[in-house]
């Protein structure tokens, strides 16, 4: 793929099993994956921080806390990225975790071989998740490519 190309996969069954296996969720009700071809080189954590920062922006707070009710940590910490807890990491990946009373989320960032990927996994803990997330997913899928491109610009500096 040429540098700057973004591929996407939407749907739990379309995400490769080795990627799904990195989720911490008991079941995956929603998944999408966006992959950017890039010549920028950074660790998965550096990519995560380039995507989301150390603390959430006002827009992220509106979506994550306001609409989704996610419980996020306050302030900067080596154990969090933008308030999301670092729930796991391995060679080439880092998993961010957050939950509300009605859904649980994982953001998986993978970086290797000239590509960086952002995969979103959700588990609906209550019925409300089925109602709240689908309209927000439309916005999320429009924003994710920009998040990757903006992160690539930050990493390249």
Give residue-wise pLDDT tens across range 64-78.
Answer: 999 999 999 988 999
- Say if residues 118 and 34 touch (Cβ distance below 8 Å): yes
Q: Which fold has domain 6-156?
A: Alpha-D-Glucose-1,6-Bisphosphate; Chain A, domain 4 (3.30.530)
Segments making up each domain of the chain, as ranges: 6-156
CB contact burial 46-85 (16+ within 10 A = b; e otherwise)? bbbbbbbeebbeeebeebbbeebebebbeeeeeebbbbbb
For the residues 117-132, what does the mean pLDDT come to? Answer: 96
Q: List, in order, residues 6 or more apart from 149 with CB less than 8 Å away.
A: 4, 6, 36
Give residue-wise pLDDT tens across range 3-30.
Answer: 677 888 898 888 999 999 999 999 999 9
């Amino acid at each position: 793929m040429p540098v700057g190309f973004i591929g996407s996969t939407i749907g739990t069954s379309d995400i490769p099993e080795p990627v799904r296996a990195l989720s911490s969720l008991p079941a995956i009700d929603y998944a999408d994956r966006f992959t950017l071809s890039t010549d920028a080189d950074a660790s998965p954590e550096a990519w995560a921080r380039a995507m989301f920062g150390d603390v959430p922006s006002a827009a992220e707070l509106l979506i994550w806390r306001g609409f989704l009710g996610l419980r996020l940590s306050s302030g900067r910490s080596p154990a969090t990225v933008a308030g999301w807890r670092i729930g796991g990491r391995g060679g080439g990946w880092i998993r961010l975790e957050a939950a509300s009373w009605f859904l649980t989320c994982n953001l998986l960032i993978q970086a290797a071989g000239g590509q960086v990927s952002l995969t979103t996994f959700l588990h609906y803990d209550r019925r409300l998740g089925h109602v709240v997330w689908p309209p927000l997913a439309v916005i999320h899928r429009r924003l994710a490519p920009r998040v990757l491109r903006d992160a690539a610009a930050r990493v390249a500096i």
